Amino acid sequence: MRKFPMSTVRSRESSPSRAPFRAVRVLAACALSALAVIAPLGGCASAPEAAMARSAPAALPRETFDAVWTTVRDQHFDPSLNGVDWNAVRDELRPRAEAAKSQSELRGVLQEMLATLGQSHFSVIPAEADDADGAAEQEPASTASTTSAEPELLPPDRAVGVLGLDLASVEGFPTVTRVTPGLPAARAGVLLGWRLVAVNGAEIAPMVEETRARLAELESSGRDPHSPEATQLRMALVFAGQQLLVGPVGSTAEVVFEDASGAEQSVSLSYEAPPLGSSSFGNLPPFPVDVQSQVLERPVEGGAPLRVGYLAFNIWMTGASDAIHRGVDKLRRSDGIVLDLRGNPGGVAAMSMGVAGFFTAEPFSLGTFIGRDNSLEFRAAPRRLSAEGTRVRPYTRPLAILIDGRSASTSEIFAGGMQEAGRARVFGETTAGMALPAQAVRLPNGDVLLHAIADFATPKGVRIEGRGVVPDEVVPQRLSSLREGRDEVLEQAITWIRTRTLESRAERAKRAESGASNP
């Protein structure tokens, strides 16, 4: 499974040329818009598997090319296709698709065609990468409407395996930013701040350096820094090494890290089923579900300790909904809550409204999906029931949201909407800028086409696509802090909550004193 940002929409309409929002379930899952560039930086597939994927003969190349071209022409949210001469693209690339000798070569041509659009959420997912059981009855895009199954929690025998660690680009290289107690990485002694050196014999640094050099050359040439190629290269650096995070349950990854002393540490890590299971949606690969919640206490001189709720989840899938709800319930008495969306690539977009409802006493808009012929506003309404069904008040104390360059799709919709509404303060680094809802459909050759069918704008008309959500307080991760066991982004958010809380306590004390002196 690849872990990159994406958005998906399920339509109940039979016409393949439209995707009306009045009858859809909107989603945003793991985007694969930069898959062709990013995949080599993961290095997790075994040599025999990679060789088989490269050597497989091209299946139905003309039919597959035409299905991709026609689907985009008919369903893209912008009739001008972002100003691209789509007919000219077809005339140039179709002969190369017809001449493709392998599936890999055909996919390269298809990715090149989709890249001309210069937008996220256009990609071809290889058949071997997606969950065949979840999509076995999907018809080719050339003949079927683009419907897909509801998200679901998968049985244990179909779960995707995890190692219990997270990686992010810190000071330019993939670095361990989280280790979950009790899971393989923690048991093997992996520590925060270790840099990723190699996976299954494939060294990471040379590939990162090559990608960085290509990006520098492109930027110095005076070409558009927001071109599809430049965007893919930047995303390749942000997502470098992410393929290590998941794999088949029971399989093993041979990993080399560099520790704080500069020494290399070789570990053999076996993938285990995630404690909360895996979730699936239609044609997409399965995703592990991880939800963490806890109360962090900090001393306050001369007063009650500061209690900060911390809630983190890795995917916006319905399999995580109950755990998220219970996590919020657990934190309701906190002085403030930190919602950690770093590394969260998206999921069910409609969940953004539900989660926002935990934190507002009044309805408000997160933004609007804008299609070719219609639109859908995402309005959050107060949620006044606990997970157990008891009446509760929505949480209205300080809310901080943590983001980074891997936060995408639904994470961006939520963070951007909450920020613009003034309901949350955002900390960290600018998000991926990949906020388009899309459909995932089966192609004649067995692969899956991911294609955007709408744009997204905040209530003030700000487009997140290509821009990302810019934090209120920019706080990059630093290697030295990680190796000291400190999370500077989280610490900055807690400092803000402390300030707000002490101000609120002082105001309450002042009112109480005023009331006592004026009976």
414-451 pLDDT, tens digit per residue, is 999 999 999 999 999 999 998 888 888 899 999 999 89
User: What pLDDT, on the 0 to 100 scale, is given for residue 10?
Assistant: 34
User: What type of residue sits at position 471?
Assistant: P
The torsion of the CA quartet 508, 513, 516, 519, rounded to 10 degrees, works out to -80
List domains and CATH numbers for the chain.
Answer: 8-153 (no CATH), 160-270 (2.30.42.10), 285-436+462-507 (3.90.226.10)
Q: What is the pLDDT of residues 241-291, one digit of tens each?
A: 988 999 999 999 999 999 999 999 999 999 999 999 988 776 667 889 999
Residue 74 buriedness (CB in 10 A; 0-12 / 13-18 / 19+): middle
User: What pLDDT, on the 0 to 100 scale, is given for residue 158?
Assistant: 72
Tokens of residue 410, six digits: 């639904």
Beta-carbon contacts of residue 426 (< 8 Å; ≥ 6 apart) = 400, 401, 402, 403, 415, 418, 419, 469, 471, 472, 473
What Å distances lie between residue 495 and 328, 422, 425, 500, CA to CA?
A: 21, 18, 12, 9
Q: What is the pLDDT of residues 5-48, one digit of tens each?
A: 434 333 323 233 333 343 333 444 344 333 333 333 333 444 34
User: What pLDDT, on the 0 to 100 scale, is given for residue 18?
Assistant: 37
Q: 517 pLDDT band (50/70/90 cuts)?
A: low
Of 17-21, 376-380, 489-493, least confident by mean pLDDT is: 17-21
Residue 241 to residue 257: CA distance in whole angstroms: 12
Q: What is the pLDDT of residues 49-78, one digit of tens each?
A: 444 455 578 889 999 999 999 999 999 999
User: What pLDDT, on the 0 to 100 scale, is given for residue 282?
Assistant: 64
The mean of the pLDDT values for the chain is: 84
Segment 298-318 shows an average pLDDT of: 95
User: What pLDDT, on the 0 to 100 scale, is given for residue 148?
Assistant: 35
User: What pLDDT, on the 0 to 100 scale, is given for residue 57?
Assistant: 84
Task: Show contacts of 263-271: CB within 8 Å, 24+ apart.
Answer: 264/197, 265/189, 265/190, 265/194, 267/188, 267/189, 267/190, 268/188, 269/163, 269/184, 269/185, 269/188, 269/190, 270/161, 270/184, 271/160, 271/161, 271/162, 271/163, 271/184, 271/246, 271/247
User: What pLDDT, on the 0 to 100 scale, is given for residue 119?
Assistant: 86
Output the CA angle 481-422-337, nearest 5 degrees. Answer: 45
DSSP letters along 114-126, please?
HHTT--SS-EEE-
